[in-house]
Amino acid sequence: MFVADWEAGSWKQPQIVPFGPISFSPALTPFHYGQAIFEGFKAHRISNAGVALFRPGENFVRFNRSAARLAMPEIPEPLFLEGVAELVRLDRDWIPRREGGALYVRPTYFGVDDTLLVRPANRFRLIVMTCPVGPYFSQPIRLLAEERFVRAFPGGTGDSKAAGNYAGGLLAARLAQEKGFHNVLWLDGVERRYVEESGVMNVFFVLDGKAITPPLGGTILPGVTRDSALTLLREMGIAAE
């Protein structure tokens, strides 16, 4: 895994180390106040010898937007992209050779102060790990429109990939799964009538020959796949908004 620390206003020398447990104080900032973010994207085999990352630069931009929202230092682009590229190069043999197989890349970034004071941390750690994966879903899925709980509210952290956003959705997802659904379809937090996104992805609808996805407005995660789909649809001459 790739590891880099920020302390006293600067990034320290990064390193790649074997995946394994890490040790921290029980007073660690994210344990108590949730100052933690993450990202996720994949590396794919494109030939017997080639590996390609799917738009990692877009994930990097979103990662830093999330960091700014949670009062965390900006990550330098070369540190992130070069570190990811080297880690994937080392782990490339873990990419499954079956159809749909990929190497999932999971960056996570969090405060590492050991204090119970309610304030932004003064020290941070960036970790990037990988694991082999197949398709997230192998069949069509069923979503339950969630009318009791909400994922995000205007002015909150809904458009950030903050760890706490996902913790807050676990109960709703579990209750939906107990009813035979795969996950929830989140509605807006004000009127609870407008579709926003699902528990694990953005959503599209096809209405009157047009592909429609809920607009970004601060409560929806700006998905990289969402942006890619909109771009490709428009290039193909298909109406999309």
> What is the C-alpha separation between 206 and 204, in angstroms, rounded?
7
pLDDT at 172: 97
pLDDT at 99: 87
Helix (H) or strand (E) holding 165: helix 163-167
> What is the C-alpha separation between 42 and 54, in angstroms, rounded?
6
pTM of the model: 0.95
Query: Crossing angle, helix 56-69 and helix 77-91, to 10 degrees?
Result: 130
For residue 227, name the pLDDT band (cuts at 50, 70, 90): very high
> What is the C-alpha separation between 241 and 231, in angstroms, rounded?
10
160, two tokens: 């950030």
Q: What is the pLDDT of residues 69-111, one digit of tens each?
A: 999 999 999 999 999 999 999 999 999 988 889 999 999 999 9
Q: What is the pLDDT of residues 129-182, one digit of tens each?
A: 999 999 988 889 999 999 999 999 999 999 999 999 999 999 999 999 999 999
Query: Crossing angle, helix 56-69 and helix 224-235, to 10 degrees?
Result: 130
pLDDT at 48: 72
pLDDT at 204: 97
Q: Residue 37 above 80 pLDDT?
A: yes
Q: Which residues neighbour 102 within 8 Å (Cβ) at sequence distance 6 or greater?
A: 42, 43, 44, 95, 96, 132, 133, 134
Mean pLDDT on 55-64:
98
pLDDT at 106: 98
> What is the C-alpha separation between 135 and 240, in angstroms, rounded?
25
Domain annotation for the chain: domains and CATH numbers? 2-133 (3.30.470.10), 143-235 (3.20.10.10)
For residue 211, name the pLDDT band (cuts at 50, 70, 90): very high
